[in-house]
Amino acid sequence: MYRATVLLILLPLLTGAALAHSGVTNPKVMPRMHLMTDIKDTVAGLGAFAKGTQRFDADEAARLVDALAAQAAGVAAAFEDAAQDPKSEARPEIWSDWTGFTAEASKLEAAAQTMQTESRAEVQFGMRAVAKACYSCHEDYRLEN
Ligand code: HEC
């Protein structure tokens, strides 16, 4: 049952948005979208281990959580500039409530840092906090969650 839950949580996060940034004209908006896409790709790798669609590899899982922690640590810098674009899904609350926004990024970083990666079960468990952090931030700071 738990496996199905992970799948349900992750599916909407990992699909659909792939082309959301096409048509963006503001070059300052592009990097933050690319960072989010990188985050999505990293989490997709961990998700494949959690779901069992990829044979579990503890070294690769450890590498992925390190990458995720580094990506999460880069969120604040990527969003610092309140750049706008018609295609952007960033809510203005990011900049009017910067402390709240960066706290959400820190939650993702902490979820990545505390995730244990010795076994598939540990990755499954750790993915809960990661997925929660994605949703929690998107709910408040991203349009059309
Ligand atoms: C600190 C807040 C925050 C966290 C944490 C966060 N996101 Fe985002 N994410 C955003 C915002 C804001 C946008 C919209 C950016 C824009 O359109 O300018 C976004 C956009 C995206 C996009 C669309 C990118 C595009 O090309 O338009 C994807 C995919 C995404 N996030 C995946 C994730 C995943 C997966 C996680 C968790 C591992 C996550 N995000 C965690 C704030 C966050």
Whether the per-residue pLDDT at 15 is higher than 70: the answer is: no
End-to-end CA separation in angstroms for the chain: 25
Judged against a pLDDT cut of 90, whether residue 6 lies above it is answered with no
Domain 2-8+34-141 falls in which CATH fold?
A: Four Helix Bundle (Hemerythrin (Met), subunit A) (1.20.120)
Domain boundaries, given as residue ranges, for the chain: 2-8+34-141
Which atom of ligand 1 approaches the CA of 88 most closely?
Answer: 17
Tell me the pLDDT tens digit for each residue of 23-39.
888 999 999 999 999 99
* CA-72 nearest atom, ligand 1: 5
Q: Among 76, 80, 131, which residue's Cα sits nearest to residue 102?
A: 76
| pLDDT(45) > 90 | yes
d(CA 137, ligand 1 centre) in Å: 8
Q: Which residues of 85-118 are buried (b: 16+ CB within 10 A; e: fewer)?
A: beebbbbeebeeeeeebeebbebbbebbeebebe
Closest CA to 70 of 105, 99, 97, 95: 105
Could you tell me the two tokens for 108? 């993702």
**Whole-angstrom Cα distance, residue 134 to residue 51?**
18
